[in-house]
């Protein structure tokens, strides 16, 4: 167990959680996981975790908290949006007492929820960011969280909670707690009753009352209408009520001018509309008429002539259109010349390879045959296809019934018909593998080591047998 603690990097930062089970000291790895630690300290400074319950408990696995709603679906980070995961090679889920960020199973989805590990959790590696550990004897208070009863949804029946948080060592001195949004009370609407004026206090009160009454009368008369000085002061003798210009004269003059314009444009517009209607009707029917003098009407001829004139005028005015047309004409000439050259080369080419010549000849035959075939969708094409299939069927049946002679089999079938060929495999003699367990004296060899004392003794015994002993008389 000591090897595990040696492998972990040193901590920098400390937070105290005051829970219903007891105090829990958490040391932070602020260098390895700066975002997660900054988020945790920011929320602790603001009192975000106060009165948060431990809403999830998996026995012998984890205890989760950090959701102010207590449902497990809420919580926001100090950055205003989820932040990225921070994995470190020396931080691993190999023991209990580790503090890590909770997420929804999606990558880079860390907010405010975190959990304590109650045992080694290798399946959580590189899925959740470890940013702290429980230290000292407070780990026993954390283990007490595992003793509470749980329902089927891994929710404690009598959940413990975090009463408050205290930062003992802040590794980020630049963090400033955000001010809580104060609830602004709604201001009551002012009463619509207006204050009454007391004119008796003024020395000229009677005159003021008369002026105000006149103003109120005019306001009521012209309410919702645009007001002018002539309307307000129509009773003034200095101003004349008669208009400077008679409106009837203006109307008559304007109407005469418009009528003249309409009479001039009616003839031309009617003629154009009739022409366009005729052309549109023919286009809708889809009739492709030849543009000759006999078929086209006079109206249509005039219409197309006008279009040609407009195009020519545009080309004369715009030099870019001229260049474009010249470019298209040159392109067509180049394509035509290239086609002619290719045809000449193919005619003049001499293929040394006989296989290529055969291929070209067969390709020509197929092209000629395909040109004579009827088009798709034609009833003749279907009947022709059925005839070809019947011919092929009869050809197959005749080749099966036909029997080749013995001389043809020996010499080999040299005919060009591919249906008459047969696939034949040469008979090969089967070679049996030798069994290593069976000893054949002819193929058996013994290897003797001359340095071995047993072989040395056998060799000496053989020499003694071969030596002839002298006969004793």
Q: How confident is the model at residue 292 (pLDDT cuts 50, 70, 90)?
A: very low
**Residue 100 clears pLDDT 80, i.e. is over it:** yes
| Distance in angstroms between the alpha carbons of the first and the last residue of the chain | 94
Q: Note whether 54 and 65 are within 8 A (CB).
A: yes
User: What average pLDDT does range 409-429 have in this prediction?
Assistant: 60
Helix, strand, or coil here: 124? Answer: helix
Which of 57 and 267 is assigned the larger pLDDT? 57
Pairing of strands 23-28, 130-134: antiparallel
User: What average pLDDT does range 189-209 have in this prediction?
Assistant: 56
Burial class of residue 172 in the structure, from the number of CB atoms within 10 Å of its CB (0-12 exposed, 13-18 middle, 19+ buried): middle
Question: From residue 345, how far is each of 88, 332, 340, 358 by CA, in Å?
Answer: 70, 20, 9, 19
To the nearest whole number, what is the mean pLDDT of the chain? Answer: 76
What is the rounded CA–CA span in Å between residue 9 and residue 318?
Answer: 76
Count CB-CB contacts under 10 A for residue 237. Answer: 5
The sign one gets for the Cα dihedral 7, 9, 11, 17 is negative
Q: What is the pLDDT of residues 17-48, one digit of tens each?
A: 999 999 999 999 999 999 999 999 999 999 99
The conformation of residue 16, written as its DSSP 8-state character, comes to: E
Q: What is the pLDDT of residues 243-282, one digit of tens each?
A: 555 555 544 444 555 555 555 555 566 777 777 777 777 6
Q: What percent of the chain has a predicted confidence (pLDDT) above 70?
A: 59
Helix, strand, or coil here: 58? Answer: strand
Helix, strand, or coil here: 445? Answer: coil
Pairing of strands 14-19, 161-169: antiparallel
User: What average pLDDT does range 367-393 have in this prediction?
Assistant: 83
Alpha helices in 135-186 (DSSP H): 138-144
Q: Note whether 100 and 128 are within 8 A (CB).
A: yes
Q: Note whether 57 and 146 are within 8 A (CB).
A: yes
Q: How confident is the model at residue 190 (pLDDT cuts 50, 70, 90)?
A: very low
pTM: 0.41
What is the rounded CA–CA span in Å between residue 16 and residue 141?
Answer: 12
Would you list the domain boundaries of the chain?
Answer: 13-169
The conformation of residue 9, written as its DSSP 8-state character, comes to: P
The sign one gets for the Cα dihedral 449, 455, 460, 465 is negative
Q: Note whether 152 and 98 are within 8 A (CB).
A: no
The string of DSSP letters for 267-318 reads: HHHHHHHHHHHHHHHHHHHT------TTTS-HHHHHHHHHHHHHHHHHHHH-
**In terms of Cα–Cα distance, which of 163, 141, 137, 160 is closest to 150?**
160
What is the rounded CA–CA span in Å between residue 132 and residue 97?
Answer: 9
What is the rounded CA–CA span in Å between residue 455 and residue 460?
Answer: 9
For the domain made up of 13-169, give the CATH fold: Cyclophilin (2.40.100)
Q: What is the pLDDT of residues 299-349, one digit of tens each?
A: 666 666 777 676 666 655 566 677 888 888 899 899 988 888 877 666 555
Radius of gyration of the chain (CA): 54
């Amino acid at each position: 167990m000591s090897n595990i603690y040696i492998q972990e990097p040193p901590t920098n930062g400390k937070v105290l959680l005051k829970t219903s089970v007891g105090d829990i000291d958490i040391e932070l790895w602020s260098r390895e996981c700066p975002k997660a630690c900054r988020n945790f300290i920011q929320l602790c400074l603001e009192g975000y975790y106060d009165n948060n319950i431990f809403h999830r408990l998996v026995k012998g696995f984890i205890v989760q908290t950090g959701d102010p709603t207590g449902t497990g679906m809420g919580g926001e980070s100090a950055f205003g949006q989820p932040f990225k995961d921070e994995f470190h090679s020396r931080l691993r889920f190999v023991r209990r007492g580790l503090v890590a960020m909770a997420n929804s199973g999606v990558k880079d989805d860390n907010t405010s929820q975190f959990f304590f590990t109650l045992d080694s959790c290798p399946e959580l590696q590189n899925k959740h960011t470890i940013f702290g550990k429980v230290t000292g004897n407070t780990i026993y208070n954390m283990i007490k969280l595992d003793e509470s009863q749980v329902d089927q949804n891994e929710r404690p029946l009598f959940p413990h909670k975090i009463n408050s948080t205290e930062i003992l060592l802040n590794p980020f001195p630049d963090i400033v707690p955000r001010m809580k949004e104060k609830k602004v009370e709604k201001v009551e609407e002012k009463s619509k009753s207006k204050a009454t004026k007391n004119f008796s206090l003024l020395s000229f009160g009677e005159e003021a009352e008369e002026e105000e009454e006149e103003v109120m009368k005019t306001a009521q008369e012209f309410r919702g209408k645009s007001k002018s000085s002539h309307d307000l002061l129509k009773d003034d003798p200095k101003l004349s009520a008669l208009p400077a210009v008679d409106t009837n004269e203006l109307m008559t003059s304007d109407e005469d001018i418009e009528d003249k314009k309409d009479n001039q444009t009616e003839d031309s517009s009617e003629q154009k509309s009739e022409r366009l209607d005729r052309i549109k009707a023919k286009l809708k029917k889809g009739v492709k008429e030849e543009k000759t003098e006999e078929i086209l009407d006079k109206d249509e001829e005039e219409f197309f002539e006008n279009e040609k004139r407009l195009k020519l005028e545009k080309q004369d005015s715009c030099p870019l259109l001229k260049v474009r047309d010249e470019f298209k004409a040159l392109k067509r000439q180049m394509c035509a010349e290239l086609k002619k050259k290719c045809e000449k080369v193919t005619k003049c080419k001499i293929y040394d390879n006989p296989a290529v010549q055969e291929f070209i000849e067969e390709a020509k035959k197929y092209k000629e045959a395909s040109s004579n075939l009827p088009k798709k969708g034609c009833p003749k094409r279907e009947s022709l296809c059925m005839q070809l299939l019947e011919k092929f069927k009869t050809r197959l049946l005749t080749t099966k019934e036909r029997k080749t002679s013995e001389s043809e089999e020996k010499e080999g079938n040299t005919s060009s018909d591919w249906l008459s060929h047969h696939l034949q495999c040469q008979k090969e003699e089967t070679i049996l593998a030798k069994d290593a367990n069976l000893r054949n004296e002819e193929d058996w060899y013994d290897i003797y080591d001359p340095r071995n004392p047993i072989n040395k003794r056998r060799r000496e015994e053989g020499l003694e047998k071969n030596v002839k002993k002298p006969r004793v008389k």
